[in-house]
Amino acid sequence: MPTRVQDLGAGRVSAVRGATVDVRFDASPLPSIFDSLVIDVDETATLVAEVQAHVGLTTVRALALQSTEGLRRGATVRRAGGPIRVPVGEALLGRLIDVTGAPRDHGAPFPDSTPDRPIHRDPPALASQSGSNDLFWTGIKVIDLLMPLAQGGKAAMFGGAGVGKTVIVMELIHAMVEQYQGISVFAGIGERSREGHEMLLDMSASGVLARTVLVYGQMNEPPGARWRAPLTALAVAEYFRDERHQNVLLLMDNVFRFVQAGAEVSGLLGRLPSRVGYQPTLATEVASLQERIVSVGGAAVTAIEAVYVPADDFTDPAVTTIAGHMDSVIVLSRAMAAEGMYPAVDPIGSSSVLLDVAIVGERHARVAIAVRRAIEHYRELQDVISLLGVEELGAEDRRIVMRARRLQRFLTQPFAVTEAFTGVLGRSVAIDDTLAGCEAILAGECDAWQENSLFMVGTLAEAREKERASAAASAVQAERSA
């Protein structure tokens, strides 16, 4: 068991209510809030719990991070003398661990020399934090162009079920390993067993697992495991940042389930719910997680977080609370996904504080504004087009609509992680190629092209070859018809 046990006086289980356990300590001071307890379930099995409240002079209420099945009153409880500590360091690369740091990939136990860290830590002092305007280029055209990410920044992908959040997260892991040779830490919060198994196999097959640490708190586990899994992942990432001075990509899927688990815990502890049934401590819990994701001493932790939007309601308190901590907000559109526009990133609803002339340069900012303006104008005219047809628009509006549709298609691209399903080779596109393609479309160079020539391609040169092939095939077909 990764959690160290100290002889500070044993307690006894006095009550078990689902995932909460009351523990009585008669002969010693009570453990502190967030301290770890190890409970003997039987002669061979133990479970880890975390103190959440003092409910009397001699009793604490603890949250079990593992199943309480078989636990009985009177069971011996030993204290660890501090928060849960989990193994960190090079030994974890390529491994899958649970919230307590125990390996869950059927691999060998970690060596005794493996360092450990507590999952609860204060954020670094503001004076020690270092800001950075270095951009994290993903190779995904629409993200790099319209909502660039920063190394050491925080970005979130907001979207409902089935619009492609997890696919983008996996593509970003691929980009990190391929382009930056960095370390990735993946926190699977409330993951389905099938999703976790598929990700483990995919990472093994693509060769990125050797530079990745996987931390899982699965959907079938108690709420405490899902609630604390991102803190375990943070402890691992902070070690590489602080001790090894390495840049780390921290990926979380799905942060909404972290909030959801917190709401379950709040109910188990008897707290009155707040807005829309969420826990009254929602803002504090989200801030305690997000404020630890910073750059220190020239090493950065870059966070990419998937956030489920319940019922596609972007005014949900959990969604708005998480969004307030983000540098870049990537909104995934169900309407675009329905049209097959992948990645289904909404270019109008998404934003980034880094899309500034002082950071990305004049050319990038100018092209991004022009692209967004064209697509927004097209959307304003969609109702008119649906009612009257595009032929009823003025010449200038028709030209803008035609170019906006081509821009939307050019900003789609196949991903490396979907090659097995689509049979199409993934594309990673440099920002200069993305800017050149958008400039050409905005200048009218592609007005005579078929829209399909720009769909699911990488660079404009590839689209040009696709257009030539399509034109040649049309010419052959015309000759046969004649």
Catalytic residues: 165, 191-192
CA angle in degrees (0–180, nearest 5) for 107-84-208: 40
Asked if residues 105 and 45 have their Cβ atoms less than 8 Å apart, the reply is no
Which ranges in 301-347 belong to alpha helices (H)?
A: 317-323, 334-338
Which ranges in 147-271 belong to alpha helices (H)?
A: 165-175, 193-206, 223-242, 255-268
Q: How many CA atoms lie within 13 A of 328 on its CB side?
A: 31
Residue 143 neighbours by CB under 8 Å, 6+ apart: 149, 330, 343, 345
Phi, psi of 216 (to 5 degrees): -120, 135
Instruction: In whole angstroms, give the CA distance from residue 165 to residue 123.
Output: 28
Q: In this structure, are strands 11-17 and 76-79 parallel, antiparallel, or unpaired?
A: antiparallel
Strand partners of residue 328: 155, 352
Q: How many CA atoms lie within 13 A of 255 on its CB side?
A: 31
Instruction: In whole angstroms, give the CA distance from residue 135 to residue 364.
Output: 13
Instruction: Name the residue among 395, 368, 413, 318 with its Cα closest to residue 147.
Output: 368
Residue 299 neighbours by CB under 8 Å, 6+ apart: 240, 241, 242, 244, 245, 246, 247, 248
Residue 326 neighbours by CB under 8 Å, 6+ apart: 154, 155, 156, 305
| Tokens (6 digits) for 34 | 């967030």
Asked if residues 253 and 169 have their Cβ atoms less than 8 Å apart, the reply is yes
| Tokens (6 digits) for 444 | 């009218």
Asked if residues 86 and 101 have their Cβ atoms less than 8 Å apart, the reply is yes
| Tokens (6 digits) for 314 | 């972007």
Instruction: In whole angstroms, give the CA distance from residue 153 to residue 302.
Output: 5
